Amino acid sequence: MNPLFTALKVKSFEIKNRVVMPPVVSFGWADENGYVDDRHVKHYEERAAGGAGMIIVEATCVKKDGRIVNSQPGIWSDSHIEGLSKITSACLAHGPMLLLQIHHSGLVTSPAIADKAVGPTADPANSRTHTLSREEIHHLQDAFIKAAKRAKQAGFHGVELHGAHGFLLNQFATHIINKREDEFGQTLQGRLKFASGIIEGIRESLGEDFIIGYRLGSNSPTLADGIEVAKYLEKTGVDILHASHGGSTGVIPAVPENFAYNGIVYSGAQIKKHVNIPVIVVNEIKTPERASYLIEHQMADFVAIARDMLTDPQWVKKAMNNEPIDYCIQCKPKCKRYESPDLCPVHKG
């Protein structure tokens, strides 16, 4: 049996295989109030029907003024539950674990979204940025906890906190940005107090069986820091770690000569050695062969396939049947889906 297609239990949920569709914003689809539509439902249903063991629905913002763009889905109000429920209803029949990634851009919130961009410490080079007061921090933690409650009401098995790619949770976690001198800074424990307060709040309100995932910047600012963050998150009660990068807050480590994957996968595989909770690794894994190798050699518990599952929603089923996959052609200078899924030359939508 190919290890990629073996089940793994997380809490009370048996995940049918090790392949994850990671979060990918469908830029241009949600309306300016953050409502998803039928295109989102079809998009996720196709990947669920294609056999993904876990689907993490795209970065969904917990505050209207914390979005990346004004077409990003939102979960800052109860009125978002109905649309998100349509996604879960369409997918659940196919049996994946369904998580919703919850997100806030923090200091990198664009001027088109909000005049002020907030974070742990204002950026001296950017006059738009503002250091959060304690009261504002508690308010934002509450926004994440409320978002998780809405995700549960919408039928998700859990949430993934977006703590990677230089966004708000990542900004708090890294000493490169977080220069606070109060209890939300100074030490690893202090820098992760923003996250741990959210995690504890979600656990308290939604119980043990609700899955809490965390996507971390595993190189933020170094892999050694990422490992310490991962160990601390495990202690705070995170159920699944998803090892991505820290965007501009870190440098991707070089890989040993005989390592056949990139520095982001390498970081994830190193983190896996230091924790006991399941770890998802990601980035340019691409093929079933490369994915299986990582599971077989215990370098990861799950592999996430983003662009190649966008270009081929049937990636998992085809991998199981040894059928040819329609691979992503890695558009340059960057993926056209940053503008719209409809521009992808291989698979629209």
Nearer to ligand FMN, 186 or 340 (CB): 340
String of contacts with ligand SF4 for each residue 86-125, x by CB under 6 A: ----------------------------------------
Query: Using CB under 6 A, which residues numbered 258 to 317 contact ligand SF4?
Result: 307, 310-311
| 10 membership: H or E segment, kind and range | strand 8-10
Q: Which does 229 bind (CB under 5 to 8 A by kind): ligand FMN, ligand SF4, none?
A: none
Contacting positions for ligand FMN (CB under 6 A): 22-25, 58-59, 101, 162, 164-165, 215, 244, 282-285, 305-307, 335, 337-338
Asked if residues 53 and 15 have their Cβ atoms less than 8 Å apart, the reply is yes
Residues 6+ apart with CB under 8 A from 183: 190, 193
Query: How far, in Å, CA of 49 to CA of 314, rounded?
Result: 8
Tell me the residue length of the chain.
349
Nearer to ligand SF4, 133 or 345 (CB): 345
Nearer to ligand SF4, 269 or 344 (CB): 344
Closest CA to 30 of 86, 90, 107: 86
**Shortest gap between Cβ of 28 and ligand SF4 (angstroms)?**
13
Query: How far, in Å, CA of 80 to CA of 222, rounded?
Result: 37
CB atoms within 10 A of CB 15: 23
What letter does residue 79 receive in the DSSP assignment? G
Q: Which does 284 bind (CB under 5 to 8 A by kind): ligand SF4, ligand FMN, none?
A: ligand FMN
Q: Which does 23 bind (CB under 5 to 8 A by kind): ligand SF4, ligand FMN, none?
A: ligand FMN
Nearer to ligand FMN, 46 or 58 (CB): 58
What six digits make up the tokens of 139? 């308010």
Q: Tell me if 25 contacts ligand SF4 by CB under 6 A.
A: no
What letter does residue 107 receive in the DSSP assignment? G
Distance of CA 144 to the CA centre of its chain: 14
Q: Which residues bind ligand SF4 (CB under 6 A)?
A: 307, 310-311, 328-331, 335-337, 344-346
